A and B are shown apart, each in its own frame.
Chain A
């Protein structure tokens, strides 16, 4: 029953969010701010995480391919596919849900308990549209770029391992990267990232928008936003993978 209540309220919130902005000039300014905050602000963490992820995946794959019958280029091949198919989109989204999701929930939650949302409503401003729509759109715009950056940096991480360790040679790694490459896998990952971007921003915003109480409840809303975002990311990951890859 409670689940149905939340689904219904989430749907009603989205109806308010996806309305025509009151003033396009103001909406555009808000969008630019969010692009900077949510998108550009996420680049550094994505760079760090995916570089080390790519390096570790390469070492682990090499460690599990000690059989001399298996060609070494398969390490590069496996690393590339792991990063493109899963790590660049799903793992990046889970990490961003933790960082940006809690940030969004607490920002909106603080506006709610500080009566700033009520103040907007009293003025006749559609607060959900004004606050949440720029966040959703900016994340949807930036997420594919973040995923492409994650792919490149993750693969670069593996390349650094091939240069610095004896696990495989650079040539093996490069050969594996080019082996049986399909651009569809990149597209699949980007499609997933768009859905994940929507989930992270809308679910976190929902939890912040309806927070009641004080600072402790804002913190709890942040945690709830992250947990539900991650659950929905993993569920939609399974669904999209089933749709696109089977």
Chain B
């Protein structure tokens, strides 16, 4: 579990996050939703420690990230896996080398054990026979899956996803969503996903926070989101004609 208490973040004169609190629960898919430019990605990067927060604290199972020294932070980061918006795969390394990288850096596994782990990770993201291809030689959906395989290589306790479905077709997006859900359940991982994709929200949103103007505007589940009275959230959820029609049918 990750407990986030009253974190704020300012860039220059602009306060991007304003006293945000949220609990990211273990074994659940925790979604952070909101319009572009409302502070979702800053929130994610603050939670993982890429942006130091101005105030507040972030407790990883009781360990406060904001009070950690470099050594403690480094140890914590080995428990974290993150999938970036564009995949962030190392361009000049093959699929297999990308997954091997964290294993080389942080484990004392033998060559055979590493290969076994790589195969295990690739199998879990349904990738076969692509070990020696380079990121530029595989599709966007496959790149995301390789990024997920790399993120789970060290068996993380915490998994973060920044817009995992951006740039993907709806069918592949569903595959990625289901993959995230199954990994979260299978390994009982604390998962946080930043998205503005309402399909993902409805598909896997077990716990949702809506961020608006740098603040936590609403919190609930995917069952509750359709019946919310919150004006800004309503505008976000029912922005598309498809969801408007679903609401009308429901009513």
In the bound complex, CA of A23 to CA of B77 (Å): 17
Whether, in the assembled complex, B199 has its beta carbon less than 8 Å from a beta carbon of chain A, the answer is no
B72-89 near A? 1/0 per residue, CB < 8 Å: 011111101010111011
Q: A122 and B104: CB pair below 8 A?
A: no
B91 CB contacts on chain A under 8 angstroms: 110, 114, 116
In the complex where A22-B105, A26-B104, A116-B90 touch, is A124 in contact with B85 (Cβ < 8 A)?
Answer: no
Q: Which B29-57 residues have a C-beta within 8 angstroms of A?
A: 45, 48, 50
Those of A204-233 within 8 Å (CB) of chain B: none
Decide if A121 touches B50 in the complex (CB within 8 Å). yes
Question: Could you tell me if A123 and B77 are in contact, using CB atoms closer than 8 angstroms?
Answer: yes
Query: With contacts A23-B105, A124-B74, A124-B75 known, is A115 near B48, CB below 8 A?
Result: no
Q: Known contacts A119-B88, A122-B82, A123-B78; is A26 also within 8 Å of B50 by CB?
A: no
Q: Is the CB of B105 within 8 A of A123?
A: yes
Task: Verify A125–B88 contact, CB threshold 8 A.
Answer: no
Q: Which residues on B sit within 8 Å (CB–CB) of A121?
A: 50, 77
**Residues on the B chain within 8 Å of A114, using CB:** 86, 88, 91
Per the bound structure, the CA–CA distance linking A138 and B93 in Å amounts to 20
Most buried by A among B50, B86, B105, B106: B105
Contact of A26 with B105 in the complex, beta carbons under 8 Å:
yes
- A122 cross-chain contacts in B, Cβ below 8 A: 48, 50, 77, 80, 82
Interface residues of B in 100-132 (CB under 8 A from A): 101-102, 104-106
Give how many A residues have a beta carbon under 8 Å from the other chain's beta carbons. 14
Across the interface, B105 reaches (CB within 8 A) one of A110, A115, A118, A125, namely A125
B77 engages A116 (CB within 8 Å): no
- The docked-state distance in angstroms from the alpha carbon of A26 to that of B74 is 18
- How far is B48's CA from A23's CA once the two chains are assembled, in angstroms? 24
Residues 97-112 (chain A) with a chain B CB within 8 angstroms? 110
Nearest chain-B residue to A118 (Cβ)?
A: B50
State the CA gap A163–B101 with chains docked (Å): 56
**Per DSSP, are chain A's interface residues mostly helix, strand or loop, or mixed?**
helix
- Give the interface size bracket for B toward A: 20 to 34
CA distance A17 to B73 in the complex (A): 18
Shortest beta-carbon distance, A50 to chain B, in Å? 30
- Asked whether A23 lies within 8 Å of B80 as measured between CB atoms, the reply is no
Query: Measured between alpha carbons, how far is A45 from B250 in the docked complex, in Å?
Result: 71
> With a CB–CB cut-off of 8 A, which chain A residues contact B101?
123
B209 CB to nearest chain A CB (Å):
21
Nearest residue, chain A, Cβ from B90: A116
- A114 to B93 CA separation, bound complex (whole angstroms): 14
| A118-B77 contact given A23-B104, A123-B105, CB 8 Å threshold | no
User: Are B90 and A123 within 8 A (Cβ)?
Assistant: no
CB B176 to nearest CB in A, in angstroms, measures 17
Chain A residue nearest in CB terms to B48:
A122
- Is B88 a contact partner of A116 (Cβ separation < 8 A)? yes
B114 nearest CB across to chain A (Å): 13
Which B residues lie within 8 Å of A119 (CB)? 82, 84, 88
User: 1/0 per residue A119-162: CB within 8 Å of B?
Assistant: 10111110000000000000000000000000000000000000
Least Cβ distance of B227 to chain A in Å?
37
A115-B104 in contact given A123-B78, A124-B75 (Cβ < 8 Å): no
Give Cα A27 to B136, complex, Å.
25
B106 touches A123 (CB 8 A): yes
CB contacts (< 8 Å) of B77 on chain A: these are 121-124
B102, A123: Cβ atoms closer than 8 Å: yes
Bound together, the chains give a CA A118 to CA B73 distance in angstroms of: 14
Residues of chain A with a CB closer than 8 A to B80's CB: 122-123
Return the chain B residue nearest A26 by Cβ: B104
Residues of B within 8 A of A23 (CB): 104-105
Tell me, in angstroms, the Cα distance from A121 to B80 when the chains sit together.
Answer: 11
Judge whether A118 and B84 touch: CB under 8 Å.
Answer: yes
Give every chain A residue within 8 A of B90 (Cβ-Cβ). Answer: 116
* Extra inter-chain contacts (9) besides given A116-B91, A124-B105, CB under 8 Å: A110-B91, A114-B86, A118-B88, A122-B50, A122-B77, A122-B82, A123-B78, A123-B80, A124-B76
8 of the cross-chain contacts (CB-CB < 8 Å) are A23-B105, A114-B86, A116-B90, A118-B88, A121-B77, A124-B73, A124-B75, A124-B105
The 9 closest A-B pairs by CB, nearest first: A124-B77, A115-B88, A119-B88, A115-B84, A124-B74, A122-B82, A124-B78, A123-B102, A116-B88
